[in-house]
Amino acid sequence: MSHQTVLILDFGGQYNQLIARRVRECGVYCEVKPCSTPLEELRALDPIGIIFTGGPNSVYLDTSPHVDLDIFSWGVPILGICYGCQLLAYSLGGQVTPAQNDSAREYGKTVTDYDTSCVLFRDLPRQGVSWMSHGDYMVRVPDGFRLTARSANCPNVAIADETRNFYGVQFHPEVNHTENGVAMLRNFLFRVCHAAGDWTMEDYKHTALAAMREKIGNGRVLLALSGGVDSSVVAALLAEAVGSQLTCVFVDHGLMRLNEADEVEAAFSQWNVNFIRRDASARFLDKLAGVEEPERKRKIIGEEFIRVFEEEAKKIGAVDFLAQGTIYPDVIESGAGNAAVIKSHHNVGGLPDCVDFKEIIEPLRLLFKDEVRQLGRELGLPEYLVSRQPFPGPGLAIRIIGGITREKADLLRRADFIFRDEIAKAGEDKRLSQYFAVLTNTRSVGVMGDGRTYDYTLALRAVTTDDFMTADWARIPYEVLDKISVRIVNEVQGVNRVLYDITSKPPATVEWE
């Protein structure tokens, strides 16, 4: 099924994936492409509009990413956001320099005045809060542009060339902190690009199924199945696309939650798919022995997963493709395009250079978690699978700070189970996006039974979020936390202190490592 496409050109900002999410929320299909993508490949998308994203660079430096100037002659509307705005101005003859004084730099919430005669701000309040993050300054805007928004410190918060349908904003309309930001994006999509707004997750399902059938042909696929939401949705998608050509391999690396390996096997043994369970726990724990640095843990786990899958593929015979449940936040945090590496996800930045498969298939690579859940429902997955809270591929390895041993993993399994059990009993599980326990590498003095203890400190983490790119720490009632703490220190030998993490993302990530 054909549909209109908005092209999002990625210049490496950490919030760029939110732009895609906001566009899709408006019912408009979009594709995110690195800014280094050849122009002919971008033009083949036949976009109805183009969005230049933010980025960490300064446009006036030769080392910063730029665009082929031919893109401005396509006659396609363009919206530049933050770095994208400055790039738009710089490329068309304006001047951008470092801010000359501290007041010209703007970060965080900023009161902004809008010219509502500009189509971007039409039918919106004349003043509101916008989210700024720029240290450079547009000294001169290009010919043909006018200023359409200002703040106390910056007269050129937004620019517009309505003749060519080129618009730029120094702030980030995609983040929740910008008042009416989504409405501004809607104005660009519907009033400037004239989008139909008819793209749905059902469309994505049909497109993904067709793409999988064309790519795989008569080949065979091995799916790296964890039993989580993402890999379960990929399993359902591939089962519908290629049926018996799919084999799901679940690797128990010894770092699952309590009873989880058995639960995954029980759930998928009822599916009409080829299912294999491989117990590789001793192998993984041996490889991780003595390793404390989190990036090394992730890369070791990523490589070992691949090697196990390669071995299983040889047993099956003639497997062409490896399928994974990689989603867009995994790609962003692992350092996509010009973005900084936050942490290497085992199925992205943790992959070894040499992989013995014809190709890796990742049909969810440009979807956010909430979109993955929507797709799962479209595919008819049961709600208990679709709404299941995430569990990272490296499992408890990134929830054990410092060295990993089987004893530590068993300790954390028991504590984590108590946490999840009490959360469910209190009815808090329905509103929490993710919650888990972390075994820190800190020991502290305690007293139990009139005797001195010197045991581990355990941290509890719970967050609420829509997309897992930003998250807020969850306000769990004190009485629930008290019950959890009492049970853990009484039932889990080796823990004598329990802490609760009250840090949001950013500045923290959801997982500790």
Q: Compute the distance between CA of residue 509 and CA of residue 53 in angstroms, rounded to an integer.
A: 22
Q: Based on the fold, state whether residues 67 and 151 are members of the same structural domain.
A: yes
CATH at residue 302: 3.40.50.620
Active site residues: 82, 172, 174
Q: Based on the fold, state whether residues 214 and 110 are members of the same structural domain.
A: no
Q: Based on the fold, state whether residues 95 and 234 are members of the same structural domain.
A: no
In the chain, the number of structural domains is 3
Structure tokens at 78: 């363009």
Please tell me the predicted confidence (pLDDT) of residue 346.
42
Q: How many CB atoms lie within 10 A of CB 142?
A: 18
Structural domain contains residue 371: yes
Please tell me the predicted confidence (pLDDT) of residue 353.
52
Q: Based on the fold, state whether residues 13 and 106 are members of the same structural domain.
A: yes
Please tell me the predicted confidence (pLDDT) of residue 355.
58
Structural domain boundaries enclosing 284: 201-386
CATH at residue 432: 3.30.300.10
Q: Based on the fold, state whether residues 443 and 299 are members of the same structural domain.
A: no
Give Cβ neighbours of residue 150 (< 8 Å, ≥ 6 apart). Answer: 112, 113, 156, 157
Q: Based on the fold, state whether residues 404 and 379 are members of the same structural domain.
A: no
Structural domain contains residue 505: no
pLDDT along the chain (513 residues), means of 10: 85 82 91 92 96 91 93 97 94 85 58 96 95 76 94 87 96 90 97 94 90 94 89 93 93 93 85 90 95 92 90 88 85 54 44 66 87 92 83 91 96 97 95 96 89 94 85 96 97 97 91 92
Please tell me the predicted confidence (pLDDT) of residue 6.
97
Q: Of 184, 175, 14, 57, whose CA–CA distance to 116 is shortest?
A: 184
Q: Based on the fold, state whether residues 159 and 130 are members of the same structural domain.
A: yes
CATH at residue 174: 3.40.50.880
Q: Based on the fold, state whether residues 156 and 59 are members of the same structural domain.
A: yes
**Residue 265: Cβ-neighbour burial (10 angstroms; 0-12, 13-18, 19+):** middle
Structural domain contains residue 442: yes
Q: Based on the fold, state whether residues 127 and 212 are members of the same structural domain.
A: no
Q: Based on the fold, state whether residues 233 and 380 are members of the same structural domain.
A: yes
Q: Based on the fold, state whether residues 287 and 406 are members of the same structural domain.
A: no
Q: Based on the fold, state whether residues 180 and 210 are members of the same structural domain.
A: no
Provide the residue type at 73 as one letter: S
Q: How far is CA 14 from CA 17, 110, 336, in A?
A: 8, 20, 10
